[in-house]
Chains A and B, each alone.
Chain A
């Protein structure tokens, strides 16, 4: 893979995109595990749609559990992607209600997109384990995730 890059000036400082021949990847940094998982979700959805102007209308609660933190990241993002793909959710606010060991419960505020009313520009087939990394470096947390588009 080549160097990371920024798509534009409006991109948050904690988010970089990773070059990949066929697909897309993100590199996210945060001050805590909880913040990392929120930012990873936000970062993933920047590949799909611009959610910045969404006025949240509904609340969704999700819970996932996994055997380790990297698998938890895949399950967490896959769960959100499922709700987006099948139930047309786009999220604006994320709140981690509980994160213990490798179990996460979150409340998400967003909208159910009415078809043809919003530009959804990509479809994530899957969150992959390819080059997956979720780790702590000193005080910082870092995640690198590649998505099959």
Chain B
């Protein structure tokens, strides 16, 4: 805990371990969390998850909730890649059945799902269709024959965030997004085939449909150029709004407006459009995954376990000191982790809590967690989102010099296709924290609990 001081309205509460504390102190993420604690209407504490690192205004791994009547909304608390998130699917196949075909499957996926810098050529859409995507999210994709209604039940917000208004999205954002539906993008985005390597909670795993050696698919990407542009557009708006409403900003990148202001509502409506774009995008990519599986493995059913968002702002009701409060919860590099009994958790999972998908780096494992009651009490139902970077891209490229990264991964029985050697170098496993440390810290704090570990078999990096 960092107690209140110097303009902080609430304390900072950060989650870390002895093994991660030096890295945590090495950058400015705690100071950023302290700056967030100064913003009007913030309640309880400015929170930081163990995968924290330095961000723009808000730290990555930051969670901050604001009273809807007195608080602010900030694009920096959501991030440029609005609704960057992860979908987890399972295939009705076990590891032994797929391993002989994994290389062909990865190659088929690489052809089915455009990836890489500037990836385009996914699905051709008109301007009118794009507006529908912004309003309807994954529902649009399903209506176009990309996946089934069953998928929607297992996506956060059921694949559509209500209250989106495409008129709030600029022409420039529309231009950036039009050619990118159904594409993975680049950087740390990926598509991974894996298997369940360990079960920690058999009963919850069974509820989620996870069994040992079951084949899994993870899709990690966001709202592409459209979301980036929405954030960019509203940073200008919010800079002016902060001055207009007299908000004292310790950091310019914390620019914001009162939630109930014209500017605040406009941002929310535009942000929701970008959220829906990402939902539609991942649903379209999942359809590409299903096509690739069908070509290589025959008529194998792929089921969506769950899909989470980790850059988002949502209106939620939480209990604070015995009172029910309506709050705007910002999660930037943090995942919702609602506990058992929550109405927002699919009915099939309600008894055990919401699935949380935590991807690791491309060489190590990922985790499936479940949300907890403690998370509801302590972190507005939130937990970590991934491993968090340890090394800058430049340092990672230097560390990768002279190495055959693909061969190294192959030697660990992991097939990789990447559109860029440079991206691959930047994404080497040691560039990231060990996700096991991050997840164990969250479990120790009670804000999520381990259900299963996933091991990679093959990966496409953008």
Are A and B genuine complex partners?
Answer: yes
A residues near B, CB below 8 A?
1-2, 5, 7, 17, 19-24, 71, 78, 82, 85-86, 88, 115, 119-123, 125-130, 132, 148-149
Write out the residue numbers on chain A whose beta carbons fall within 8 Å of the beta carbon of B239: 71
How far does the Cβ of B49 sit from chain A's closest Cβ, in whole Å? 15
Write out the residue numbers on chain B whose beta carbons fall within 8 Å of the beta carbon of A88: 118
Write out the residue numbers on chain B whose beta carbons fall within 8 Å of the beta carbon of A149: 187, 393
Can you report 29 A-B residue pairs in the complex whose CB atoms are below 8 A from each other? A2-B392, A7-B394, A19-B392, A20-B392, A20-B393, A22-B55, A22-B389, A71-B236, A82-B172, A82-B175, A85-B225, A115-B118, A119-B420, A120-B118, A121-B422, A122-B117, A122-B186, A123-B118, A123-B186, A125-B80, A125-B81, A125-B228, A126-B231, A127-B232, A129-B252, A130-B253, A148-B56, A148-B80, A148-B228
Check if B228 sits within 8 Å of A21, measured CB to CB: no
Chain B residue, CB-CB nearest to A130:
B56
Write out the residue numbers on chain A whose beta carbons fall within 8 Å of the beta carbon of B27: 1, 21
Which residue from A21, A82, A86 sits with its C-beta under 8 Å from B389? A21
How far does the Cβ of A4 sit from chain B's closest Cβ, in whole Å? 10
How far does the Cβ of A71 sit from chain B's closest Cβ, in whole Å? 8
Check if B253 sits within 8 Å of A121, measured CB to CB: no
Main secondary structure of the interface of B (DSSP, over half): mixed
Q: A78-B232, A85-B176, A122-B117 are in contact. Are A129 and B253 (CB under 8 A)?
A: yes
Q: Report the interface size class on chain B.
A: 35 or more
Check if B231 sits within 8 Å of A20, measured CB to CB: no
> B54 within 8 Å of A by Cβ?
yes
Write out the residue numbers on chain B whose beta carbons fall within 8 Å of the beta carbon of A120: 117-118
How far does the Cβ of A8 sit from chain B's closest Cβ, in whole Å? 11
Chain A residue, CB-CB nearest to B392:
A19
How far does the Cβ of A16 sit from chain B's closest Cβ, in whole Å? 11
Chain A residue, CB-CB nearest to B422:
A121
> B423 within 8 Å of A by Cβ?
yes
Write out the residue numbers on chain B whose beta carbons fall within 8 Å of the beta carbon of A148: 56, 80, 228
Query: CA separation between A125 and B228, bound complex, in Å?
Result: 6
Q: A2-B392, A21-B389 are in contact. Are A128 and B186 (CB under 8 A)?
A: no
Check if A82 sits within 8 Å of B176, measured CB to CB: yes
Q: A7-B394, A19-B395, A21-B27 are in contact. Are A128 and B185 (CB under 8 A)?
A: no
How far does the Cβ of B429 sit from chain A's closest Cβ, in whole Å? 16
Which residue from A2, A20, A85 sits with its C-beta under 8 Å from B118? A85
The digit string for B155-173, where 1 denotes a CB below 8 A from any CB of A, is 0000000000000000010
How far does the Cβ of B178 sit from chain A's closest Cβ, in whole Å? 9
> B53 within 8 Å of A by Cβ?
yes
Write out the residue numbers on chain A whose beta carbons fall within 8 Å of the beta carbon of B187: 122-123, 149
B88-120 at interface with A (beta carbon < 8 Å): 117-118, 120
> B60 within 8 Å of A by Cβ?
yes
Q: Beyond A22-B60, A123-B185, A148-B80: 10 further Cβ-contacts under 8 Å?
A: A1-B27, A20-B393, A21-B53, A21-B390, A121-B117, A123-B117, A126-B232, A127-B232, A130-B253, A149-B187
The digit string for B114-152, where 1 denotes a CB below 8 A from any CB of A, is 000110100000000000000000000000000000000
Query: CA separation between A88 and B119, bound complex, in Å?
Result: 12
> B199 within 8 Å of A by Cβ?
no
Chain A residue, CB-CB nearest to B29:
A21
Write out the residue numbers on chain A whose beta carbons fall within 8 Å of the beta carbon of B308: none
The digit string for B58-73, where 1 denotes a CB below 8 A from any CB of A, is 0010000000000000
